[in-house]
Structure 1
Amino acid sequence: MSIQRLGYMGFEVADVPAWRSFMTGKLGAMESSSSETEAKFRLDSRAWRLSVSKGHTDDYLFAGYEVDSEKGLQAVKESLEARGVAVKVEGPELTAKRGVLGLISCADPFGNRVEVYYGGTELFEQPFASPAGVSGFQTGDQGIGHYVLNVEDVDAALAFYTGALGFQLADIIDWKINEDLKVTVYFLYCNGRHHTFAFGKLPVPKKLHHFMLQAKEMDDVGLAYDKFDADRSIVMTLGRHTNDHMVSFYGATPSGFAVEYGWGARDVSAGWSVVRYDRISIWGHKFQAPA
């Protein structure tokens, strides 16, 4: 038994008000709750999908992976423990805060917090309404999107995420960033989305390279691009990736890591074969220095 999808993510941020404005105004997420130290945001019918908590790191805080039942949660727990991973069964306080029925947590080989849960809270009676007019986000069985981590040991990462959590390798890209620097990025899937998680030994100071949201319409991407372009916060220009075929751009967040905002990715199909690529993009995705 493996995890089914990425259900939520949390970031530790220095400036919660800046993130509240960024999430709602630029990305089009719907704020579900907020205080001076924390804010949560909706992308669909779930009570929340993204959260920011006040702290100094401006980086990844946790990722929450969903399974479909209590039995599935127990199976993931047993899989982790069989590989020597220490697992904590979270108590009612954190379970209530996350709005789930059952929750376990552990650390990956690099100390990154990973949560697995079942029974997330639905709010069908309070429809999602983007304050920026975004038509919606591709979620459902594919989860909320993907994220990319910077890791020191790609072999350890591959063993943990495929062996203990049950991800499958979709493909790799040998990414030539410039004439002197090339990194290999591994892309993993756990449902129909081409990749939910990716990692590599990347030339960035933070754990989190970027997270991705997939809009339902290409116009949503174009309108968001204009907002990032207006304040010169584009990190990589509009382009189309070689592996998942997504049309997207990358923008700077208030914490320094990036957000990818995209549309039109292809899904993993039956009989998928692992391949490699020499380029990260078919066209576009040119680096720009944010203002």
Structure 2
Amino acid sequence: MAVKKLGYLGFGASDIEAWRSYATKTLGLMDAGSKRDALLLRLDSRGWRIGVHPSPKDDILYAGFEVENKADMERVAQTLEQCGVPIQRANPEELAERAVIDFVKCKDPSGVTIEIYYGASELYEVPFVSPAGVSGFITEDQGLGHYVLSVDDLEQSLDFYIRGLGMELSDIIDWQMNPEVKLQVNFLHCNRRHHTLALIQAPAPKRLHHFMLEVSSFDDVGRAYDRVIDQNQVVMTMGRHTNDHMYSFYGATPSGFAVEYGWGARTIEADWSVVRYDSISMWGHKFMGMGAA
């Protein structure tokens, strides 16, 4: 039994108002209000997809993975326990905060809280409207998007996500960042999205390298790119990835980790085979540094 999709992400942030402005005006997300001092953000019919919580950490706090029903949640929890992972049950206050029917939680090998839930809240009666005019975000059966973690132990992390959560390996990139540094990036999927999670074993100041939002049109990417350039916040220029074929760029968030904004990714098909690559991009994606245009 496997998780079905990435449902939500929680970030810690030292400046909530900077996040509110960046998320709505630059990324085009919808302000869904606050709950227990946390800023909630929408990008589709769900009540929220991203929670930004007051914290000096400025890093990922939790990731919520969706399953279909209670029975599936219990099966995933049982599998994790069989892998030696302690499981905690959500209390009523936590359920109200996440606006789901039920969830269980645990820690991954790097200490990130993982929540397995079902029964998220839908707000069809309050349509999603992007403050920046974004035509839409690709979610539904592919989930929120993806995120990339810097981990302490790659093998333990792969075991947790593959054996524990039931995710599958999509492919591997051996990334030569510079003449001295080569990193292996492992990409994992749990639905048609090419990858919901990627893992890198490398020392880093933050666990979260970046998270990704996929929009409905290439023009949405171009307009967002203009907004990020105007704010002098480009981390990596426009480019196209070798493995998922996505056209995207990377911007700097107020918390110091990056956000990838993209369109046009290919999806996992029935005849998919695991392969490896020597480069992350076919073209573009030139590193500019945090906050450089």
The answer to whether residue 148 in structure 2 is matched with residue 148 in structure 1 is yes
What is the aligned-residue RMSD (CA, Å)? Answer: 1.0
Partner residue, 1:25: 25
Partner residue, 1:180: 180
Decide whether the 8 Å contact of 1:16 with 1:36 is kept in 2. no
Secondary structure of 1:178's counterpart equals coil
Partner residue, 2:42: 42
Partner residue, 1:54: 54
User: Which residue identity lines up with residue 154 of structure 1 in the other structure?
Assistant: L
Secondary structure of 2:110's counterpart equals coil
Partner residue, 2:13: 13
Task: Measure, in 2, the Cα distance between the counterparts of 1:239 and 1:36.
Answer: 39
Deviation string 1:152-208 (CA, Å, 9 cap, x unpaired) is: 111111111000000000000000111111100000000000000001123531100
Task: Measure, in 2, the Cα distance between the counterparts of 1:203 and 1:111.
Answer: 15
Partner residue, 1:167: 167
Query: Which sections of structure 1, spanning at least 5 residues, go unmatched?
Result: none
Question: Bigger CA drift: 27-36 or 265-274?
Answer: 27-36
Partner residue, 1:120: 120
Query: Which sections of structure 2, spanning at least 5 residues, go unmatched?
Result: none
Partner residue, 1:246: 246
Task: Measure, in 2, the Cα distance between the counterparts of 1:137 and 1:35.
Answer: 23
- 1:188-267 residue pairs with structure 2 within 5 A? 188-267=188-267
User: Which residue identity lines up with residue 21 of structure 1 in the other structure?
Assistant: S
Task: Measure, in 2, the Cα distance between the counterparts of 1:68 and 1:33.
Answer: 27
Secondary structure of 2:177's counterpart equals strand
Task: Measure, in 2, the Cα distance between the counterparts of 1:110 and 1:134.
Answer: 34
Partner residue, 1:105: 105
Q: 1:35 to 1:116 in 2, by over 3 A?
A: closer
Task: Measure, in 2, the Cα distance between the counterparts of 1:138 and 1:202.
Answer: 30
User: Which residue identity lines up with residue 232 of structure 2 in the other structure?
Assistant: R
In the TM superposition, what is the alpha-carbon distance from 1:37 to its structure 2 partner? Answer: 3.2
Secondary structure of 1:126's counterpart equals coil
Partner residue, 2:286: 286
Q: TM-score scaled by structure 1?
A: 0.98
User: Which residue identity lines up with residue 62 of structure 2 in the other structure?
Assistant: F
User: Which residue identity lines up with residue 227 of structure 1 in the other structure?
Assistant: R
Decide whether the 8 Å contact of 1:16 with 1:37 is kept in 2. no
Decide whether the 8 Å contact of 2:35 with 2:97 is kept in 1. no
Partner residue, 2:80: 80
Task: Measure, in 1, the Cα distance between the counterparts of 2:36 and 2:100.
Answer: 24
Task: Measure, in 2, the Cα distance between the counterparts of 1:195 and 1:42.
Answer: 21
In the TM superposition, what is the alpha-carbon distance from 1:267 to its structure 2 partner? Answer: 0.2
Aligned length: 291
Partner residue, 2:96: 96
In the TM superposition, what is the alpha-carbon distance from 1:273 to its structure 2 partner? Answer: 0.6
User: Which residue identity lines up with residue 239 of structure 1 in the other structure?
Assistant: G
In the TM superposition, what is the alpha-carbon distance from 1:38 to its structure 2 partner? Answer: 1.5
Task: Measure, in 1, the Cα distance between the counterparts of 2:257 and 2:269.
Answer: 31
Task: Measure, in 1, the Cα distance between the counterparts of 2:203 and 2:101.
Answer: 39
Task: Measure, in 2, the Cα distance between the counterparts of 1:42 and 1:176.
Answer: 36
In the TM superposition, what is the alpha-carbon distance from 1:232 to its structure 2 partner? Answer: 1.2
In the TM superposition, what is the alpha-carbon distance from 1:34 to its structure 2 partner? Answer: 2.5
Identity over the aligned pairs, expressed in percent? Answer: 54
Q: TM-score scaled by structure 2?
A: 0.98
Decide whether the 8 Å contact of 1:65 with 1:115 is kept in 2. yes
Q: Which aligned segments of 4 or more residues in structure 1 are displaced greater than 3 angstroms?
A: none
